[in-house]
């Protein structure tokens, strides 16, 4: 026997707009097709020529928004970085730090480290991206290649818990030393308290209704 609940037959969110049925597809993670355009083909070719393990080390070459991203296996990161820095055709003399990104839904590659590289000699930019599982968040350090990555790696460790193997002083840099957890991970709450305002209460930002 069926059983009706409530008065108006509305269950769940009560959304009658139909927008609740929208499905959004995320960014594609596959490799881009050649030609990549701009100087990107030259960079890929030069790296391939200079680095015999290219096919093994580079998981994907993605061109998006006019930017080239090389997805590198972590075991090969330092080798790739050294060639990108030292090869006379590449000359990426400067690394502009590390940015971590946490994708909890990408199982087996939850944590990403993103390195924007800059070649002043050739006026080019590319990006390296390394992904590691949450259960084994180790990436080799690049401080030996670009000393300026020191603080950036400490920040990424502090915020995401990525451990940069070989870093000489991988300690927290922005949060207090005895802080528990890594604040920029998606499973770490924003915190905040409800705000009283003229008798009404505005919930904390993370508790407010939001559009996806």
Partner 1 sequence: MTFDPYASSRETTEGRVYSVTGGDWDELSTEIGATKEERVVVNMGPQHPSTHGVLRLILELEGETVTEARCGIGYLHTGIEKNTEYRTWTQGVTFVTRMDYLAPIFNETAYCMSVEKLLGITEQIPERAQVIRVMMMELNRISSHMVCFGTGGLELGALTPIFFAFRDRETVLDIFEEVSGLRMNMAYIRPGGVAQDVPADAVSRIREACRDMRKSFKDNETLLVGNSIWMKRTKDVGYLDLAGCMTLGVTGPILRAAGMPWDLRKSQPYSGYENYNFDVITTDTSDAYGRFLVRLGELEQSLRIIEQCCDFLDKLNGAPVMVADKKIAWPAQLSVSADGMGNSLSHIREIMGESMEALIHHFKIVTEGFRVPAGQAYAAVESPRGETGVHTVSDGGTRPYRVHFREPSFNNLQSTAAMCEGGMIADVISAVASIDPVMGGVDR
Q: What residues line the site for partner 1 (CB under 8 A)?
A: 24-27, 64-67, 69, 93-97, 99-102, 114, 116, 118, 120, 123, 125, 127, 146-152, 155, 159, 172-176, 183-184, 190, 205-206, 210-212
**Closest approach of Cβ 124 to partner 1, in Å?**
10
Q: What is the DSSP letter of 204?
A: P
Nearer to partner 1, 56 or 120 (CB): 120
Least Å distance, CB 186 to partner 1, is 8
Nearest approach in angstroms of CB 45 to partner 1 is 22
94 contacts: CB under 8 Å, gap ≥ 6: 117, 118, 119, 120, 146, 148
Alpha carbon 56 to its chain centroid, in Å, reads 21
Check if the beta carbon of residue 69 is closer than 8 Å to that of residue 127.
Answer: yes
Q: To the nearest whole angstrom, how small is the minimum distance from the Cβ of residue 181 to partner 1?
A: 12
Helix (H, G, I), strand (E, B) or coil at 188: coil
d(CA 155, CA 79): 23
Distances (CA, A) of 20 to 15, 67, 70, 209: 7, 33, 36, 14
CB atoms within 10 A of CB 210: 7
Coil/strand/helix, residue 113: strand
Residue (4 or 105) nearer to partner 1, CB: 105
For the bound state, the minimum distance from the C-beta of residue 165 to partner 1, rounded and expressed in Å, comes to 20
């Amino acid at each position: 026997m069926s059983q009706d609940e409530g008065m108006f037959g509305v269950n769940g969110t009560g959304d009658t707009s139909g927008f609740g049925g929208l499905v959004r597809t995320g960014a594609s993670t596959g490799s881009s097709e050649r030609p990549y355009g701009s100087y990107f083909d030259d960079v890929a070719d030069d790296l391939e020529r200079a680095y015999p393990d290219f096919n093994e080390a580079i998981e994907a070459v993605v061109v998006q928004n006019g930017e080239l991203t090389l997805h590198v296996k972590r075991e090969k990161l330092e080798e790739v970085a050294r060639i990108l820095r030292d090869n006379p055709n590449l000359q990426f003399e400067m690394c502009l730090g590390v940015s971590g990104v946490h994708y909890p839904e990408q199982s087996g590659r939850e944590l990403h480290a993103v390195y924007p590289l800059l070649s002043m000699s050739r006026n080019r930019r590319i990006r390296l991206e390394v992904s590691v599982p949450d259960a084994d968040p180790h990436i080799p350090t690049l401080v030996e290649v670009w000393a300026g990555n020191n603080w950036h790696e400490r920040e990424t460790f502090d915020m995401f818990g990525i451990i940069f193997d070989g870093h000489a002083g991988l300690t927290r840099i922005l949060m207090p030393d005895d802080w528990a957890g890594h604040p920029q991970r998606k499973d770490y709450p924003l915190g905040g308290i409800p705000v009283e305002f003229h008798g009404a209460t505005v919930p904390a930002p993370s508790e407010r209704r939001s559009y996806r």
